[in-house]
Structure 1
Amino acid sequence: MQIEIDGLSFHVRLDGPETAPVLMLSNSLSSNLSMWDAQIEAFTRRWRVLRYDQRGHGGTEVSDRPVSFERLADDAIAILDALDIPKVHFCGVSMGGMTGMTLMTRHPKRIERAVLANTAARMGPAELWNARIRATREGGMEAVVDATIARWFTEAFRARAPETVAAVREMILSTPAAGYAACCAAIRDMDQREAIRAIRHPVLVIIGAHDPATTPQAGEIVHAAIRGSRAVTLDAAHLSNIEAPDAFDEAVTAFLSEKP
């Protein structure tokens, strides 16, 4: 379905039992809600799964205005409001995890438990992001797709799952370059290292043992900053939900199913 938020049409999808508690999934940079396809069978056994494309990604329109994580968090809340959903569990990978951190500090009453996967509270240096913005403005997503795939998956996974990797490559190429660039700027300007110390939600931090983008060290910084959080390390690179889906699903399901 499409929902209008802040003058833009957002692509949103619901799966699973209508009466089940809601689990909201938030996508990474240069992806769309299909990145969660491997999780849907497992997650819909327990939850009503709400997926959406962050602004400028997938089937959600691109804005000509600057993007911040405050805006991305407000987008998520506007989706919940439009669907009359008061509170959700939340799971986000990479940029989705950064959105989740902001949700818990900006809209704490709307989140129950949260999973922050393969993410970081700050990602520098600025020039790295400026270079990616320049590259896509000059050459489109073709200019960054190969390097992105190399960061997202280990060499061993790329060798044993070429069809999966090819599908992800097409997903990256289908991302609007302007949407990618705007969210790159949001990541470049983000620093949540101090803000997340105020989070009091139950939080699971998922770390990819071989993640060169949001490194294990970056994940441990998030874990250390959020009081009472837990961390689990999976044998994967950046998109651990795709490279290690069974272990990812098990970790998320066990954590979100715990009784208060």
Structure 2
Amino acid sequence: MSAADRYIPTELGTLRVRVTGTGPAMLLWPSLLMDHTLWDAQVAHFSARFTTIAVDPPGHGASTPLDRPFTFEQCAQGVGRILDTLEIERAHIVGNSWGAMIGATFCALYPERVLTAVLMNGTASPAGVRQRLEYGALLVLARILGGFRGPLTRSALDAFLGPTTMRTRPEAVEHVRKTVRANDIRSVRHAVRSVVPQRPDQRQLLARISTPTLIIGGSEDSTFPPAEVEEMARAVPGAELSIMAGAAHLLAVEVPDAVNTLIDDFLGRHRPSR
């Protein structure tokens, strides 16, 4: 299946998106420190039936580096700009962590643009004191070292991947390590600040979501443990919830086949009426 890269101007810079396949649109937004390749297995699986749009989010991958923080509303506007540029009226929204939060924001603010939502490893809650301190220290050390090197890469792996993946999925570990180390700390520090210490409490906003929504967590996710994912699911009216055993914060690359099966089942039960 052929793929084409598009470079789309938004308020948060030009975003590179990889468009593959034909059919109903499926937009995929990854986690902090990840790029569109987080979704390689999903693109390979779904692009025979869907137009997959895998995003390099602001400040990541081949998108324009960030020079300031942002709001979740600005990110949601960026999703709308992508769809407008590609002349897509409605899309299935799939997001991981940062992508789950932006997907939820987009669903709440622009319900007429959404077919269904799959929100993975996300939260609706503001960052706690410990998480703010941990990520603040991570940014300081990364700035001193000039990037994610040595022990900082290990810290990111520990935050994103659980013991099962670290022990049994070397290809997933290497994928995450390589992507984390490729980040420009001068750019991604603005994203980290926006998504962690400055993250809003979205629980009231998520109560406005009216589209079919599947929320997925990982049993070994230390960043957003199952209880936090469950709280997010309670905030979304009628949301379905699934906690995947033996995986952590980057389910799409840790257990891609299981994720694809879960999404297939969800989409099969929520076919759009138009």
TM-score (norm: length of structure 2): 0.89
1:134 counterpart residue number: 140
Q: Is the 8 A contact 2:66 2:188 kept in 1?
A: no
Deviation per CA, 1:79-114, whole angstroms, max 9, x where unpaired? 111111111000000110011111012222111100
Pairing 1:124–2:128 present? yes
Of 177, 185, 189, the residue aligned with 1:181 is 189
For 2:48, what is the secondary structure of its paired residue?
A: coil
Give me the whole-angstrom Cα distance separating, in 2, the residues matched to 1:95 and 1:239: 11
Query: What are structure 2's unaligned runs of at least 5 residues?
Result: none
Deviation per CA, 1:143-174, whole angstroms, max 9, x where unpaired? 63211111222223222222331122011111
Q: Displacement of 1:247 after TM fit?
A: 1.1
Q: Is the 8 A contact 2:13 2:65 kept in 1?
A: yes
Q: Displacement of 1:243 after TM fit?
A: 1.3
Q: Displacement of 1:127 after TM fit?
A: 2.6
Of 201, 206, 224, the residue aligned with 2:234 is 224
Give me the whole-angstrom Cα distance separating, in 2, the residues matched to 1:243 and 1:164: 6
Q: Is the 8 A contact 2:163 2:220 kept in 1?
A: no
Q: Is the 8 A contact 1:73 1:103 kept in 2?
A: yes
Q: Displacement of 1:7 after TM fit?
A: 7.0
Q: Is the 8 A contact 1:68 1:183 kept in 2?
A: no
Pairing 1:249–2:260 present? yes
Deviation per CA, 1:209-230, whole angstroms, max 9, x where unpaired? 1110111011100111111000
Pairing 1:5–2:5 present? no
The count of residues paired between Structure 1 and Structure 2 equals 258
Q: Is the 8 A contact 1:22 1:48 kept in 2?
A: yes
Q: Displacement of 1:121 after TM fit?
A: 1.0
Q: Is the 8 A contact 1:132 1:181 kept in 2?
A: no
Query: What are structure 1's unaligned runs of at least 5 residues?
Result: none
Q: Is the 8 A contact 1:12 1:51 kept in 2?
A: yes
Of 104, 107, 111, the residue aligned with 1:104 is 107
Pairing 1:204–2:214 present? yes
1:60 counterpart residue number: 63
Matches within 5 A, 1:72-111: 72-111=75-114
Give me the whole-angstrom Cα distance separating, in 1, the residues matched to 2:69 and 2:162: 33
Give me the whole-angstrom Cα distance separating, in 1, the residues matched to 2:119 and 2:171: 27
Pairing 1:215–2:225 present? yes
Q: Is the 8 A contact 1:89 1:256 kept in 2?
A: no
**Bigger mean CA offset, 90-99 vs 5-14:** 5-14
For 1:63, what is the secondary structure of its paired residue?
A: coil
Identity value in percent: 29
Give me the whole-angstrom Cα distance separating, in 1, the residues matched to 2:12 and 2:194: 19
TM-score (norm: length of structure 1): 0.94
1:144 counterpart residue number: 152
Counterpart AA for 1:195? L
Give me the whole-angstrom Cα distance separating, in 2, the residues matched to 1:107 and 1:128: 33
Counterpart AA for 1:221? E
Give me the whole-angstrom Cα distance separating, in 2, the residues matched to 1:15 and 1:23: 10
Counterpart AA for 1:189? Q
1:22 counterpart residue number: 25
Counterpart AA for 1:77? G
Give me the whole-angstrom Cα distance separating, in 1, the residues matched to 2:251 and 2:189: 23
Q: Displacement of 1:205 after TM fit?
A: 0.4
